[in-house]
Structure 1
Amino acid sequence: MSKYTRRTVTSWIAGGTIAAAAMCAFVPSVSAQENWDEVVAAAKKEGKVVFYNNLQPNGIEPLLQKFREEYPEIQTEMIRLGSNPLIERFATEFNANRHLADVLITFPDERIYEGVKAGWAAQWSPPEAKNFAPELIEDNTLFTLQQAREALIWNKNLVPAGEEPKEWTDLFDPKWKGKVGMNPPWRSISIQQIVAYWEDKLNLGDTAQKLKDNDVRFFEGSGGIIQAVIRGDVQLAELTDLPLNPLLEDGAPVGFVYPESGTTLSSNKAFVAAKAPHPNAAKVFVNWLMTAKGQEYLQQYAGLSATRNDAPPLTQLPATKDLKNAVDGETVLNPERQAKMVDHWRTTFGVK
């Protein structure tokens, strides 16, 4: 699926020519200015990497442990937040000239792209970049490592066979009143994208009011959502599928469906901070995440479909290419729509 959106095409034209931009995708894997062995040696001397992320909470430490096993000289420190507060935090720190993060991974919105223009991200070429499709690497600053999809899930012990939800409209069905859960849109960009898809592409109307009328319950993050379903706090929910695969592997009583009316796809992207306090360790860490082993561990512990050319499929979930009408979420949400949506949902639910 191409992710060359209006934004990226416009930025290419503004920078010169599309042909020039296309050439950027074929930068050698290690630049002439940088010897990778020297980068690794410098990273070991720095001895630390600070990692801002929105990965599955219980998978972050096992992932970092695998990195430390390969690079025991580099210790790890991490901050995990939802995509929206994570971007806000990085922006606030950058604007205050407080450069604390080395690496950031999140689902981006327009603020990330504007931030890259403003100097948030280092431009460099990881040795492992050759193993990724060119469209997954943007101007050698943003690297798409994984992809998430929006799904409906339910508790198989509470929802009778034959009554499982099949479409997004089930979230608004009065028979599920008080039994529906979701992540609030003001917390997550991926949720904002699926709401825009519901309202603008599927013409489902004011979904905030419909869900309020159906006594929707909000939980923090995908991990909170799926645990609420497993506990029986709610019976069905909208979910960004990042925690789903590992829990299905563990035998969790959870059913799932990607509605045939379509769903949105979110790309988890990484960048090395341009003013990282540990710039070499940051590069080593991001490059490790792009290796075959790093991608395997990301998929195993973070639960999302990895993007490396030779990455194996998830064990329990279909590949993105096998989903009907999987739409790049960035194409359905612009800054104006985003701000209007968040304000409307906060107002509808009385959240300041």
Structure 2
Amino acid sequence: MLSYRIPTRRSFGLVAAAAGALAVATLAGPAAQAQAPSPSWDQVVAAAKKEGTLTFYNNLQPNGIEPLLAKFKEAYPDIQPEQIRLGSNPLIERFQTEFNAGRNIADVLITFPDERISEGMKAGWMAEWTPPELPNFPPEINEANKVFTLQYAREAIIWNKSKVKPADAPKEWTDLFDPKWKGKVGMNPPWRSVSIQQVVAFWEDKGITNPAQKLKDNEVRFFEGSGGIIQAVLRGDVSVAELTDLPLNPLLEDGAPVGFVYPASGTTLSANKAFVAAKAPHPNAARVFVNWLMTKDGQEALQKYCGLSVTRKGAPPLSNLPATSQVPNVVDGEKILTPQRQAKIINEWRTVFGIQ
């Protein structure tokens, strides 16, 4: 019997000086910082080694985090990272609560954002700095030298090849509403996930009316997160499912009997973004870690172990999934999901399914 790894699961500045001078935190007071020149990258690395540790909050694929950290420690053995993993919503909520309370624990946060990240930029959550690796990325991944997009997740339809004949395999989003799959469609509930809210908005933009009621009529089954959906598909609890493709590539590498499609009508992508906390306890180690994630080795490790398409220019596609540029009609979900629309979708789906 095959064994599968099942996960449990949102101004492009050039470096001015040849040495890669950066605006980073120092131990000096505010007046001294205003007059002192920015330290070189070598000085940042040296200070990071003295700090010796960092804490990063993330929603990366669970079974990929330790291999990723092992690769980082190969590059920087003097820095020991510790991590706390939560879903995007509780992760952002935790950081926000700690920031407001003056409890500065996180050095780095990596997550799929919602409007709170934009609000956090205004509130001073993020440090402003220029990673030395930034010139190797397209300009759109950089938000004010504070937030950097490292990876993209895409929405897809998957199915159990043991349960679904090739001729019956779904091809479009409307197939999820087909009565032949009644009681056999799986999905992450929209009130739980920003990425699902985004694809619901996309469906509406494509003319799919009342998707919540249509899926209720088709007796959709909800599962918590991508990991729960994958388990349900592999067990045969459902035959087809909507999935954020976070855990898909590792499963395909393991030979799991899962088919997939990115519908030709289009899909949404979610940006997995990173920032260094403005009040990071270990600010230099935090910068070294984020910059390493942007290196060729770091991006390869992110893609290999965490299963999402990376953003570095020239990076190869995932081993079993197409690059984002090869997926048809991709829409940035963050651009179509306004806070007002998000609230409307959540309220509508909760109402239709009787969730308080």
Instruction: Map 1:222-241; keep pairs closer than 5 Å.
Output: 222-241=226-245
Q: Contact (CA 8 Å) 1:145, 1:269: kept in 2 or not?
A: yes
The one-letter code of the counterpart of 2:346 is V
- Structure 1 residue 124: Cα displacement: 0.4
Residue deviations 1:232-286 (CA, integer Å, cap 9, x gap): 1211111111111111111110000001111001111100011111111111110
Deviates more, 1:86-95 or 1:145-154: 86-95
Superposition pairs for residues 122-133 of structure 1, below 5 Å?
122-133=127-138
Q: Which amino acid aligns with 1:25?
A: G
Instruction: Out of 26-35 and 134-143, give the one that drifted further.
Output: 26-35
What SS is found at the alignment partner of 1:127? coil
Structure 1 distance, partners of 2:222, 2:52, is: 40
- Runs of 4+ residues over 2 Å off in structure 1: 24-32, 346-352
Aligned twin of 1:164: 169
Paired residue for 2:28?
A: none
1:264 equivalent in alignment to 2:275: no
CA contact (8 A) 2:14 2:134 kept: no
Structure 2 residue 348 is the aligned partner of structure 1 residue 344:
yes
Alignment of 1:110-189 (within 5 A): 110-189=115-194
> What's 1:89 paired with?
94
CA distance in 1, matches of 2:353, 2:62: 27
**Structure 2 CA distance for partners of 1:57 and 1:303, relative to 1, 3 Å:** same
Q: Could you say which residue in structure 2 is the equivalent of 1:245? A: 249
Q: Does 1:316 align with 2:307?
A: no
Look up the SS of the partner of 1:296 in the other structure: helix
Are the counterparts in 1 of residues 266 and 329 from structure 2 also a CA contact under 8 Å?
A: yes
- Aligned partner of 2:5 in structure 1 is none
Question: Does the 8 Å contact 2:157/2:260 carry over to 1?
Answer: yes
In the alignment, structure 2 segments of 5+ residues that lack a partner are: 1-10, 23-36
Q: Does the aligned pair in 1 maintain the 2:13–2:130 contact within 8 Å?
A: no
Distance in 2 between residues matched to 1:165 and 1:106, nearest whole Å: 30
Which one of the candidate residues 294, 298, 302 is aligned to 1:298? 302
Q: Structure 2: which amino acid aligns with 1:30? A: A
1:107-135 deviation digits (Å, cap 9, x = unpaired):
11221011111101000011111111122
| Separation of aligned partners in 1, 2:50 and 2:15 | 27
What TM-score, normalized by structure 2, do the two folds share? Answer: 0.89
Structure 2: how far apart are the matches of 1:46 and 1:342? 43
The answer to whether the Cα contact below 8 Å between 2:13 and 2:134 also exists between their aligned partners in 1 is no
Counterparts of 1:82 and 1:214 in 2: how far apart (Å)?
27
Task: Look up the match of 1:30.
Answer: 21
Using the aligned pairs only, state the percent identity: 72
Is 1:283 the equivalent of 2:287? yes
State the one-letter code of the partner of 2:208.
L
Aligned-residue Cα RMSD (Å) equals 1.4
CA distance in 1, matches of 2:51, 2:222: 41
Alignment of 1:193 onto 2:213: no
Letter in 2 for 1:50: T
Query: How far 1:27 sits from its partner (Å)?
Result: 4.6
1:105 maps to: 110
